[in-house]
Amino acid sequence: MLISFSAEDAKTAALALGGLYFIFKFALGYLMINATLQTALRRQKITENEDLIIASVKISKGDRECLQLDSIKITPTGDFKFSHGDFIDFTGMRSPNRPLRLSPGEETSFEFAFKVPTDQVTKVDVELKGWSGPFSKRIKGYWYSSAISEPVAEKKAPLETKVLTPN
């Protein structure tokens, strides 16, 4: 049994596949929440045993949809005990319980400060939760960024280097 396709069948199949491709690209491309999360750290000595780390978090919204911020959490970790990180919950900050909204092309930034031991390397993790909107609230987005802060270096002699040669 031989199956034959007419020109009309081929056109119909091409239109159907083209429509499915457009829907696929729309769902994966246009509805994608394009945002950038950048973290920068500054560290300065405040006492003999403590340093102050200032973490600057910059959020840049791309050119599609709005980004509604749900929360931002920043957590420092290292070889010391730190009870908790800072957490901002945007859902209850504006009346009536509206989150902070970034329109396409907008930027905003937040700063957090932590005291840490002078001699400790500190990793700072930033977690941002939000969703696109206002029409596609079901599409949630999560962004993560991290940076490492080394202790403030004192002037020391340069490190000795050795060249290893194979036997």
Which region among 31-45, 78-92, 95-109, 132-146 has the lowest average model confidence (pLDDT)?
78-92
Question: How far apart are the C-alpha atoms of 161 and 8, rounded to whole Å?
Answer: 75
Question: How far apart are the C-alpha atoms of 14 and 122, rounded to whole Å?
Answer: 56
Tell me the domains of the chain and their CATH numbers.
Answer: 34-149 (2.60.40.10)
Condensed to tens digits (0 to 9), the pLDDT of residues 67-101 reads: 888 888 888 887 766 655 667 776 655 544 556 78
Q: What is the pTM of this model?
A: 0.67
Q: Give the percent of the chain with pLDDT over 90.
A: 17
